[in-house]
Chain A
Amino acid sequence: MKFADFVCFEATIPELQAKDRDGAIAELVTSLDKAGKLKRGSREDIIKAVIKREEEASTGMGKGVAVPHVKHPAVKDVVAAIGQSSVGIDFSALDKQPVYSVVLLISPVDNPDKHLQAMESIFRRLQQEKFRKFLRQSRNSEQIEDLFREVDENPAL
């Protein structure tokens, strides 16, 4: 699955203002809401749901990346937003290290397969040290979008 098919680049936050996990989640959900990707009036509920999911088990998989996510009826299709933090955020990550790249993913309730495909695309790239480095070096939304579009076009990269 290509990133361009589910990442909302309009909602990218190149420098998260939040210094904590819940704040970062709220910022990214709000950004998706502003971009018109969420059902009207569902923002608060989604923020709560993502945080609740995060409380169950951290999606901070180590290596400075976290993928907070939830399945929610407020979306018809899988949608993601990318946020970066230069100072690092405590996500209670598995390796106890701060998180610099956050990919927020909201999936519909009735399409588990597509959720898995989006996750696969995200982890395939986040696993690559090179990709994580380029992502951290990105200074603005355009650079982040270019990076994701580049790997979309070159699956072998």
Chain B
Amino acid sequence: MQAGQDPLEKVVCETTVEIKNADGLHMRPAMQFVDVANKFNCDIIVSNSENTVDGKSIMQMTMLAATCGTKLMIKAEGADAQIAIDALRELVEKKHFDEPLPGDRKE
């Protein structure tokens, strides 16, 4: 088997993201995360310092109780792992779930 040629070869990607929005990973952001994760075929697991959960399960994601400033490790395994990781990173860090940052004034 030629390395890097097999389309079924397991691609594994890992990254660490930081929760930026002030309210943390409460249910609505967790749902956004799960929605994005479920667009991909790869397996996605997410860990904090204590738990590792299925990134495609809303119940499990809510269990992370990731507050603002928490770092989460995302690991994706499968052919589309890299684009999945990129999309999740954008959601968490760049778009911060379209929620206010700690410095933003509340209405």
Contacts and interface: CB of A to CB of B under 8 A. Distances in A.
Are the chains A and B members of one assembly?
yes
A19 to B, nearest CB: 25
A101 interface: no
Contact of A116 (B26, B28, B58, B59): B26
B22 A112 contact: yes
**Interface residue SS majority, chain A:** helix
A55 B25 CA distance: 20
Interface stretch (B6-14, B39-47, B64-72, B76-84): B64-72
A124 interface: yes
Contacts of B59: 61-63, 123, 126-127
B64 A120 contact: yes
A56 B63 CA distance: 21
Given A120-B62, A127-B60, A112 B28 contact: no
A128 to B, nearest CB: 10
Contacts of B23: 112, 115
B58 A119 contact: no
In this complex, the interface size class of chain A, counting residues with CB under 8 Å from chain B, is 20 to 34
A57 B68 CA distance: 22
B27 interface: yes
Nearest to B62: A123
B5 to A, nearest CB: 39
A113 interface: yes
Nearest to A105: B27
Given A62-B59, A123-B59, A123-B62, A113 B67 contact: yes
Contact of A115 (B26, B63, B64, B66): B26
B28 A124 contact: no
B55 to A, nearest CB: 15
A93 B60 CA distance: 16
B24 A112 contact: yes
Interface in A115-155: 115-117, 119-120, 123-124, 126-127
Contacts of A69: 27
